[in-house]
Amino acid sequence: MTTAGAVTVAERVALAPLTTLGVGGAARWFVEATDEAAVHAARAWAHERRVPLRVLGGGSNLVIADAGVDALVVRIALRGLTHRELGGAVELTAAAGEPWDSVVAASVERGWAGLECLSGIPGLVGATPIQNVGAYGQEVSDTVVSVRALDTATGEIAEIAAAGCGFAYRDSMFKRQSPGRFVVLAVTYRLRPGGAPTLTYADVQRHLGGRSATLAETRTAVLTIRRAKSMTLDQPDDVNRRSCGSFFLNPIVDAAQAESVTARTGDPAMPRWPQPDGRVKLSAAWLIERAGFTRGERTGAVGLSTRHTLAVVAHDGARTADVLAFARRVQDQVEQRFGVRLSPEPVIWGA
């Protein structure tokens, strides 16, 4: 263990217990950052030694290689919530280490609309802009005003407005163009005091019986739907507990490819959602099931969730290599049958 400035750097820290999938090796170096000074110090430590820097939040969207990660892993533990009222709206700023669902719960309790459908998503605030977290009719890009981040290339703090974040479906410039460059320190969301909940998603509407609802009722509905799919971490569900949530993104293809996939499935009722740019989003879960996979199916210690086709679950004895081999088999079989290759949603370190 070495101490550098505001941080103590530990060596060979097991990462599997710090992720929800629970597989993979150790971080070569590891630091827990409880304030911005510690993040600066960690960046300086890595910079001086030419060691790559990796940022760990709640580990709920991460797959770590069995051999571990040859980098300084900074676990984000910055806390704090502040808000200000501005022209009828509320700007809520959360430090990157705040648990995401606590922030959603606090906003719903105060009657601030904008995050209610994102209830129950695991992880920390700092990761929400990375893949533009979304569910049940909302994405954080609907409410993000700005992201405060350390630019590891320059060592400077950047205040990045939403327009500069390059948000797209489960994507952003943080993930796509500059992976690993920015360490998110805080995120500001613009919420609507007294606003109505977003009730656009069919599952939520069905659950509420088509009636209007309060923010609190909408949060409860979303949590109930998610729990039934084992898509929260707060339930005693030993079978499906270890996952990254959805392992595959819904593919977005051009119109011609969507026609070709429909033809290959032989089912004109294939789910498809036209996008504003003319492309078409397909259902990864539907394609996986049509390619012959069933919920709960296992190969050794890895399988699909018994309650959600998109979740790849690690059981006792699983290694990362097994998880990735299982995922590849799903990708290969879907591609062979329908000509579309699924992309993984989680970030994969070191494999």
Ligand X SMILES: Cc1cc2nc3c(=O)[nH]c(=O)nc-3n(C[C@H](O)[C@H](O)[C@H](O)COP(=O)(O)OP(=O)(O)OC[C@H]3O[C@@H](n4cnc5c(N)ncnc54)[C@H](O)[C@@H]3O)c2cc1C
Site for ligand X in 331-350 (CB under 6 A): 347
Q: Are the C-beta atoms of 114 and 107 separated by less than 8 Å?
A: yes
Tell me the closest approach of the beta carbon of residue 207 to ligand X, in angstroms.
Answer: 16
Q: Which helix (H) or strand (E) holds 323?
A: helix 320-338
Question: β-pairing, 53-56 with 69-76?
Answer: parallel
Q: Are the C-beta atoms of 313 and 231 separated by less than 8 Å?
A: no
Which one of residues 53, 76, 77, 327 is an interface residue with ligand X (CB under 6 A)?
76
Residue 242 among the catalytic residues: no
Which one of residues 93, 107, 119, 128 is an interface residue with ligand X (CB under 6 A)?
128
Read off the tokens for 200.
């656009």
Which one of residues 184, 310, 313, 318 is an interface residue with ligand X (CB under 6 A)?
184
Residue 246 among the catalytic residues: yes
Nearest CB to ligand X, comparing residues 57 and 282: 57
Residue 329 among the catalytic residues: no
Nearest CB to ligand X, comparing residues 89 and 313: 313
Nearest CB to ligand X, comparing residues 136 and 338: 136
Tell me the closest approach of the beta carbon of residue 260 to ligand X, in angstroms.
Answer: 28
Q: Are the C-beta atoms of 107 and 191 separated by less than 8 Å?
A: yes
Per rule CB under 6 A, is residue 122 in the interface with ligand X? yes
Q: Which helix (H) or strand (E) holds 190?
A: strand 182-193
Q: Which helix (H) or strand (E) holds 218?
A: helix 215-228
Phi, psi dihedrals of residue 285, rounded to the nearest 5°: -60, -45
Cβ-based neighbours of 119, under 8 Å, separated by 6 or more = 101, 104, 105, 108, 219, 222, 223, 226
Instruction: Please name the amino acid found at residue 188.
Output: T
Tell me the closest approach of the beta carbon of residue 160 to ligand X, in angstroms.
Answer: 12
What does the DSSP assignment read for 29-82?
A: EEEEE-SHHHHHHHHHHHHHHT--EEEESSSSSEEE-TT-EEEEEEEE----EE
Which one of residues 26, 71, 96, 104 is an interface residue with ligand X (CB under 6 A)?
96
Per rule CB under 6 A, is residue 27 in the interface with ligand X? no
Which one of residues 94, 165, 231, 310 is an interface residue with ligand X (CB under 6 A)?
231
Which one of residues 104, 130, 288, 313 is an interface residue with ligand X (CB under 6 A)?
130
The catalytic position among 141, 172, 246, 305 is 246
Per rule CB under 6 A, is residue 58 in the interface with ligand X? yes
Helix 255-265 × helix 320-338 angle, to 10°: 90
Per rule CB under 6 A, is residue 7 in the interface with ligand X? no
Per rule CB under 6 A, is residue 22 in the interface with ligand X? no
Per rule CB under 6 A, is residue 61 in the interface with ligand X? yes
Nearest CB to ligand X, comparing residues 108 and 183: 183
Per rule CB under 6 A, is residue 309 in the interface with ligand X? no
- Rounded distance between C-alpha atoms, residue 60 and residue 62, angstroms: 6
Catalytic residues: 170, 246, 345
Interacting residue ranges for ligand X, rule: CB under 6 A: 20, 54-62, 76, 96, 121-124, 126-128, 130-131, 133-135, 182-184, 231, 233, 243-245, 347
